[in-house]
Amino acid sequence: MMLLHTRALFHWITESASKLKALFFMRRGWLAGLMGAFVSSSAWADWTVNMTEGVTAVSRSIYSLHMIIFIICVVIGVLVFGVMFYSILVHRKSKGAVPQQFHESTVVEILWTTVPFLILVGMAIPATKTLIDIYNTDESEIDIKITGYQWKWQYEYVGEGVSFFSTLSTPREQIQNSRIKNPNYLLEVDEPLVLPVGKKVRFLVTAADVIHSWWVPAFAVKRDAIPGFINEAWTNIDRPGIYRGQCAELCGKDHGFMPIVVDVRSEEDYEKWLVERKESAAQERMILEEDWPMARLMTKGKQVYGKVCAACHQVNGQGMPPIFPALKGADVAVNKTRVGDHVDILMNGIKGTAMQSFANQLNEAEIAAVITYERNAWGNKTGEMVTPKEILEYKKSGKYTPDPDNKTVTPFVNTNQAGL
């Protein structure tokens, strides 16, 4: 929202500047020019510097609170400056004004204590009402657990068995300025949070690594996501639509690359979506039982790597040393005796570093695929593969045991050199 306002303001300034320039260079009809510049200006239509009202009862009461207090401030400002300028002008020395000499006027002291006090109490009453409303998460109909990660959001529909990650979908080329940017540049994700209209939704907000903050201005929801804590917030949205927000707590290198998109649908459409989502979760579980030959693991692994790992280790596997190590040529990824270590790193993360555990973020097939990919991409050529079944076993036993069916692997021949 802030961005929109800044943009509108910028637009207005540039437009006004060009109109002024036009005026200066106009020899004849300058009055007509002046009138034209100010009357027919479409720029006035964009003149929105105020807060937006948003689409929830809470956002509207915050908006009216903001307006009430704004008006109070304007009235006080006009009164105080009015009296001041009036006195300066009318009672100026050159007109022979003589200052009054008085000290410790009880009336004045009582007035300047009680009047501000009453004004403050008058402002605190509606503000407290709104605050209490903001924190009242009782009687929610839907619970969503939101977890912030470096740098993505996880949404879990509590009790529904549906959970997914939402990551930035703006292509890297646009970020690097080598392609024209989308209208929703950096405010778009692969999978938005889907919510129904007219239901009280409770958010349980937490984080898995550092502090993030989940912020959607149109809902007036902004809550810190802190590791080890669960903060609550709620919303009840009036109107279907796509609403966008951002992480609002500086959380590291890609802080500006973890946007929030909420797709608000009619209740019917939401239910339909939820059923579909549950079915695809069941299908995903079946996929684990299927056969996963090398080529399939590599294709899947490349996808997962690009989406999840490349932000730190880079698409070409070279990382950004010394903080984000290269995986290309890394001992753990090329040494045939260290498959177990490699699986450990993915499953448990590396304590105290940005390398987090992926055991709950990725399913078994995705973990197996990304490990296989790392061991066979960018010139790492071990020819080994790790299968979803092995990861499933790891989850049960807590350690890597090679599947005997999986040991007669012929070295992987990459027929798509350019692509890998």
H-state helical runs in 265-338? 267-287, 294-304, 310-313, 331-334
CB atoms within 10 A of CB 77: 10
**Residue 332 contacts which entry, ligand HEC, Cu ion, none (Cβ below 5-8 A, type-dependent):** ligand HEC
Q: Is residue 152 a contact point for Cu ion (CB under 5 A)? A: no
Residue 187 phi, psi dihedral angles, 5° rounding: -125, 35
Q: CA–CA separation, 420 vs 72, rounded Å?
A: 63
Residue of this chain nearest to ligand HEC (CB atom): 309
Cα three-residue angle 269-270-276, rounded to 5 degrees: 90
Applying CB under 5 A, the span of 131-139, 209-217, 260-268, 303-311 interacting with Cu ion comes to 209-217
Q: Is 251 in the site for Cu ion (CB under 5 A)?
A: yes
Nearer to ligand HEC, 184 or 299 (CB): 299
- Find which of ligand HEC, Cu ion, none residue 412 binds, CB within 5 to 8 Å per kind: none
CA distance 340 to 401: 8
Q: What tokens does 66 get? A: 């903001």
Q: What is the closest distance, in whole angstroms, from the C-beta atom of residue 355 to ligand HEC in the complex? A: 3
**Helix count and strand count (H, E) for the chain:** 12, 10
Tell me if 161 sits within 8 A of 174, measured CB to CB.
Answer: no
Residue 351: partners with Cβ closer than 8 Å, 6 or more residues away: none
Q: Is 212 in the site for Cu ion (CB under 5 A)?
A: yes
Beta carbon of residue 100, minimum distance to Cu ion (angstroms, whole number)? 59
- Residue ranges of alpha helices (H) inside 57-97 are 57-90
d(C-alpha 155, C-alpha 203), whole Å: 10
Give whichever of 158 and 345 is closer to ligand HEC, judged by the CB atom.
Answer: 345
Nearer to ligand HEC, 119 or 332 (CB): 332
Query: Considering the rule CB under 5 A, would residue 247 count as an interface residue with Cu ion?
Result: yes
Q: How far is the CB of 305 from Cu ion (least distance, A)?
A: 22
Q: Which is nearer to ligand HEC, 22 or 320 (CB)?
A: 320
Structure tokens given for 206: 């937490």
- Residue 146 binds Cu ion (CB under 5 A): no
Q: Between residues 219 and 257, which has the closer beta carbon with respect to Cu ion?
A: 257
Q: Are 264 and 329 in contact (CB under 8 A)?
A: no
Residue 247 interface partner, choices Cu ion, ligand HEC, none, CB cut-off 5-8 Å depending on type: Cu ion
Residue 176 Cβ vs Cu ion, minimum distance, rounded to whole Å:
21
Strand pairing category for 221-225 and 193-196: unpaired
Task: Return the number of the residue (59 or 361) whose C-beta is nearest ligand HEC.
Answer: 361
Nearest to 26 by CA among 37, 15, 16: 37
Bond from prior residue into 411 cis (ω within 30 degrees of 0): no
Say which residue the tokens 């907000």 belong to.
205
Find which of Cu ion, ligand HEC, none residue 225 binds, CB within 5 to 8 Å per kind: none
For 165, the enclosing helix (H) or strand (E) is strand 162-166
Query: 221-225 and 212-216: which strand pairing?
Result: antiparallel
List beta partners, residue 111. none
Nearer to ligand HEC among residue 375 and residue 389 (C-beta): 375
Name the minimum Å distance from CB 149 to ligand HEC.
8
C-beta closer to ligand HEC: residue 55 or 168? 168
Least distance in angstroms from the C-beta of 252 to ligand HEC: 8
For binding to ligand HEC (CB under 6 A), which residues are involved? 150, 308-309, 311-313, 323-325, 327, 330, 332-333, 342, 345-346, 350, 353-355, 358, 370, 374
Q: Binding partner of residue 212 among ligand HEC, Cu ion, none, CB under 5 to 8 Å per kind?
A: Cu ion
Residue 308 interacts, among ligand HEC, Cu ion, none and using kind-specific CB cut-offs from 5 to 8 Å, with ligand HEC
Q: With binding defined as CB under 5 A, does residue 223 bind Cu ion?
A: no
Preceding omega of 151 cis (within 30 degrees of 0):
yes
Residue 324 interface partner, choices Cu ion, ligand HEC, none, CB cut-off 5-8 Å depending on type? ligand HEC
Residue placing its CB nearer to ligand HEC in the complex, 124 or 350: 350
Q: Which two tokens stand for residue 178?
A: 């080598």
The partner in contact with residue 392, picked from Cu ion, ligand HEC, none with C-beta cut-offs of 5 to 8 angstroms by kind, is none
Contact partner, 307, from Cu ion, ligand HEC, none, Cβ < 5-8 Å per class: none
The one-letter amino acid code at 33 reads: G
193-196 and 260-265 beta bridge pairing:
parallel
Tokens matching residue 114? 């009680």
What does the binding site for Cu ion look like in residue numbers (CB under 5 A)? 212, 247, 251
